[in-house]
Structure 1
Amino acid sequence: MVPFVSKDEVRQALPYSVLIPSLRAMFKQDVVSPVRHAHSLSAVSNSTLLLMPAWQAHGSTGVKLVTVAPHNTQHPTVHAIYILLDTESGVPLALMDGEELTIRRTAATSALASSFISREDSQHLLIVGNGGLAPHLAVAHCHTRTIKKVTIWGRKKEKSEHCRAAILTHPEFPTQTQVDISDQLEASCSDADIISCATTSTEPIVLGDWVRAGTHLDLVGGFTPMMREVDDHLMAKATVFVDTFAGALTEAGDIVQCLNNGVLTRDAIVAELAMLCRTEHSGRQTAKEISIFKSVGAALEDLCAANLVWRALNNRVD
């Protein structure tokens, strides 16, 4: 029987201290990671099925199945499972909780990118959005920069309070780091060294006039061409990096819309994450430049995390 790896088991197998450097190594390898397939399941509910495959010629193959149902009120809007297989034999190895795997690899990828792009002396992290991913972003970023203060901004204070509690009780969060809640987004943006956005907004939330020189922006929401988290002014004056060219140039609203309206040219997107990991691009060039990392998610990241989970499962069995 193919074993099922639960959410708790996935969490235990993917501490950020292990996952972040593993992702860095994975981005250096030859992994086939096609752009994800998206299929509309229901026009009435606007539900979508996403298929995200990736494989190594002499290693493992994985496929993540994701359903997104924005109108869910009684259940989470996103569900996911992950199946890991042996590439050469095709034998299924394990079925895993895909939601925890996705959350952790997403946050770890943002932190990995920050290690190349944000200022090394960054100390103040602003989290824009207070959903389920927000606490993980806060914790992961603390693994690549010495963050002394985390500020949370969200539209509902109650959700921000819940987010703050989740951050403070997270076993991987540094106990000396302060966590605050803000209702003044403009002022918080002006004070932050790193701004991490994880929203489903279709209109810009963070404006270029609010962001000071030297700030790094980590844009995790905006995973469709219709979504936006920052305005044209900010995109135009920033140095732009992406997780993958293939995904960001077709799916990321902050990129796609700016390419279409002429605010960005293709040459303005200077590197994808693999180029940073392989030292093909040196990342941040000056202390005063504004940098943006736009991610939409890559199946390579899922496969990396799934391999770690499989390894941990075998070690426990042995």
Structure 2
Amino acid sequence: MKAHLAARPSLRKIRVWNRTQERAEALIEQLNMPDLDLRVAHDLDSAVSDADIISCVTMAQEPLVKGELLKPGTHLDLVGAYRPDMREANDAAMARGTLFVDCRDGMKGSGELSRPVDGGVITWEDIKADLYELVQGHHPGRQTEEEITVFKNVGGGTLTCLPRSL
């Protein structure tokens, strides 16, 4: 959340969802950001359909975010669900979004990506760029305001995905 706020200081409304309301409330209290409209989201689907930016950091084995609910222009971060048997977003999210990863090494071990590839929903070629390619300007990132973008952190990309020439 703090990274998003650093990049987009105009963000003012943030909703936190958790399987238990108590944990969502505890996170809000821990964040201690009185200048923001920071509240518990009681219904995940409603929060997803209203959000401009969604960050998931879960251990979910079954998708929580329904891609059919994403509005045009949404950005979806998938940070958790790091094993092959885990998913935070369903096939519709992966099919609707322009896909980016932190690192191409290891992406085939992510259930978030390998399961929709195995199901014929996406291909490995649908992953447009990794962080290095984005930062170096090899890919421009979002192309239109209506484009849905999906970023999957497959783990450790900032440490291990340097170009071979360095």
Q: TM-score, normalised by structure 1?
A: 0.48
Paired position in structure 1 for 2:163: none
User: Residue 296 of structure 1: CA displacement?
Assistant: 2.1
Aligned partner of 1:208 among 67, 84, 88: 67
On the 8 A contact 1:241/1:270 being kept in 2, the answer is yes
- Identity across aligned pairs (percent)? 38
Unpaired stretches in structure 1, ≥5 consecutive residues: 1-137, 303-318
- 1:210 and 1:299 map into 2 onto residues whose CA distance is 29
- Find out whether 1:188 has 2:47 as its counterpart: yes
On the 8 A contact 2:102/2:157 being kept in 1, the answer is no
User: Residue 266 of structure 1: CA displacement?
Assistant: 1.6
- Find out whether 1:165 has 2:23 as its counterpart: no
Listed as ranges, the matches of 1:13-32 within 5 Å are none
Listed as ranges, the matches of 1:282-297 within 5 Å are 282-297=140-155
Indicate the SS of the match to 1:203: coil
Paired position in structure 2 for 1:33: none
* More strand per residue: 1
Q: What's the C-alpha RMSD, in Å, of the aligned pairs?
A: 1.4
- 1:295 and 1:207 map into 2 onto residues whose CA distance is 18
Paired position in structure 1 for 2:57: 198
Unpaired stretches in structure 2, ≥5 consecutive residues: 161-166
On the 8 A contact 2:102/2:158 being kept in 1, the answer is no
Give CA deviations for 1:252-277 in whole Å, capped at 9, x if unaligned: 11101111111111211000000011
User: Residue 299 of structure 1: CA displacement?
Assistant: 6.0
Listed as ranges, the matches of 1:31-180 within 5 Å are 138-145=1-8, 146-168=10-32, 175-180=34-39
Structure 1 outlier segments of 4+, above 2 Å: 299-302
User: Residue 141 of structure 1: CA displacement?
Assistant: 1.1
Work out which of the two has the higher radius of gyration on C-alpha atoms and give 1 or 2: 1
Count how many residue pairs are aligned between Structure 1 and Structure 2.
159
Paired residue type of 1:246: D
- 1:266 and 1:139 map into 2 onto residues whose CA distance is 31
On the 8 A contact 1:244/1:273 being kept in 2, the answer is yes
Listed as ranges, the matches of 1:298-317 within 5 Å are 298=156, 300-301=158-159
Distance 1:282 1:185, change over 3 A: same
Indicate the SS of the match to 1:284: coil
- 2:128 and 2:47 map into 1 onto residues whose CA distance is 28
